[in-house]
Amino acid sequence: MSHRSACRGTATMGVVALALGIASQPAIADELQELQRQIEALESKVRALESRQEVRERPAANAVTAGATKGSFKLPGSDTSVTVGGYVKLDAVFGNPSAGVGSTADLFLQPNAIPVGPGAGDNERNQVKFGARESRLFLKTSTPTSRGDLATYVEGDFYGADGNESVSNSSGPRLRHAYGSLGHLLAGQTWTNFMYAPALPETLDFGGPVGQIFDRQAQVRWTQAFDATGSLSGGQWSVALENPESVVTLPTGATFRADDDHVPDLTGQVLFSTSRGIFAVAGVLRQIRADSAAPGVVDQAVGSAVSVSAVIPVVGKDDFRFVGSAGNGIGRYSNGFFPDGVVQADGSLHLPNGCGTRPIVTTGSMACGRTWCCRVRGRAIPRGRRERRTRPRSRSTPT
């Protein structure tokens, strides 16, 4: 009797538990459905937030964005990076004697404007001059293409047309550089390929040292790099056709520009990068021509010159730089100091050596740079130029 009662009790408890389990299944299902709904709501909110973030990060079609190079920006709707820059500079110059009334040589060194001879004493003494004409602006762009970056560069200062110093001190802008490059090819106006610009010493004076090779002119240039070999860590060679211009001295001593050149100047340069520094060897081959009825001269000659430059690190940030050049075709490439040729009394044109065998125009400059602190540097710059003219040979007919 007791055993049957126990069995009935156990069965009753099982039925009750089964009934409770069956009754709880709808509650669990409801909880799962609620949890699923909450998850879907959270996912919807996350997608909405991500969509808003993408909209915020996506630039507008007409927005200006950062460019590919430091300090540049991209034009709206294009891949062209644009950089605008320059500087403002005030020159305060004391000159004794001055270079003459209204002369830019009172603001920077121009060797051919240094007062010499009997009339040198007529110029003003102890002159003080202020000017801001060296202030500079530039604009450069870079656009990626399938053939490499298409780059352009335009730069100018204010050593153009002179203004008066009475009221406004207006000075006209002047073009310094304007060129474009794509891959190995460059076309436009920039430094001549006959000079290595990094070898120019740093000077506060805008004119720079006397013995430098210095010229900017229109040209078409091809530049090709070469790989490292032996002690060389690499380098490049370049060749260019450049704007010709002949400046000759007349028998009276006056300067004459015939402006009748027929052949572009041919320049070449090889740049070597080594563990001891950077060395550059350059050359120029040019036709020097004068053709004019007044003064009466119709003649031409071929001139050439070579130049060797270097920038050699010494200790820390200190360096040693030099430029040495020689040839009978240097002429105006020496910062316009020398004439390209001399017109004789018979109307024939002779280059400075007169005999065509040995170069007698030589120029050179050296610079030892010392860094005193992070932004202060000093330089010692010995420099010089020399021209020796020999007696010209007699020629029966002009060439």
266 inside domain = yes
What was the pLDDT predicted at 22? 53
Position 265 in a domain: yes
**Dihedral (Cα; 340, 346, 347, 349), 10-degree rounding:** -30
Q: Cα–Cα distance between 285 and 370 in angstroms, integer?
A: 36
Q: Is residue 226 part of a domain?
A: yes
Element at 47 (helix H, strand E)? helix 2-57
Strands 341-343 and 247-249: parallel
Position with higher pLDDT, 352 vs 320: 320
Report the pLDDT value the prediction gives residue 354, as an integer from 0 to 100: 40
46 within some domain:
no
pLDDT digits 0-9 by tens, 104-130? 778 887 777 777 777 766 777 888 889
Of 201 and 217, the structure prediction assigns the larger pLDDT to 217
Please tell me the predicted confidence (pLDDT) of residue 24: 58
Pick the range with the lowest mean pLDDT from 170-174, 259-263, 362-366: 362-366
Tally the domains of the chain.
Answer: 1
Asked whether residue 112 is assigned to any structural domain, the reply reads no
70 in any annotated domain: no
Is position 142 within any domain? no
Do residues 272 and 308 make contact, with C-beta atoms less than 8 angstroms apart? no
Q: What pLDDT sits at residue 102?
A: 66
Please identify which residue in the block is written with the tokens 């609620």. Answer: 34
The answer as to whether 277 is a domain residue is yes
Write the CA distances from 270 to 181, 225, 388, integer angstroms.
Answer: 19, 10, 29
Torsion of CA 265, 271, 276, 277, to 10 degrees: 70
Q: What are phi and psi of 34, to 5 degrees?
A: -65, -40
Query: DSSP letter string over 289-305?
Result: EEEETTTTEEEEEEEEE
For residue 370, pLDDT beyond 70: no
In angstroms, how far is CA 322 from the centroid of its own chain?
Answer: 20
For residue 383, the cross-strand partners are 365
CA–CA–CA angle 247, 252, 257 (5° rounding): 20
Mean pLDDT of 373-398: 51
Judged against a pLDDT cut of 70, whether residue 93 lies above it is answered with yes
Total Cβ atoms within 10 A of residue 172: 12
Q: Domain span at residue 220?
A: 185-399
Query: Token pair 């003003």 is at which residue?
Result: 124
Locus of tokens 């070999």: 229
| Token reading at 125 | 């003494």
CA–CA distance from 300 to each of 175, 261, 292, 303, 321 (Å)? 30, 9, 12, 10, 36
Q: Please, what is the average pLDDT of the chain?
A: 80
The pLDDT tens digits for 278-300 are 999 999 999 999 887 766 788 88
The predicted model gives 302-316 an average pLDDT of 91
- Rounded CA-CA distance 297/255 in Å is 13
CA distance 123 to 301: 38
For residue 40, how many other CB atoms are within 10 A of its CB? 10
DSSP assigned state of 214: B
Using the predicted structure, report yes or no on whether residue 9 has a pLDDT greater than 80.
no
pLDDT of residue 372: 61
- Helix %, strand %, coil % for the chain, to 5? 20, 40, 40
Q: With H, G, I as helix, E, B as strand and everything else as coil, classify residue 326.
A: strand
Residue 175 Ramachandran class (φ > 0 left, ψ -120 to 50 alpha, else beta): beta
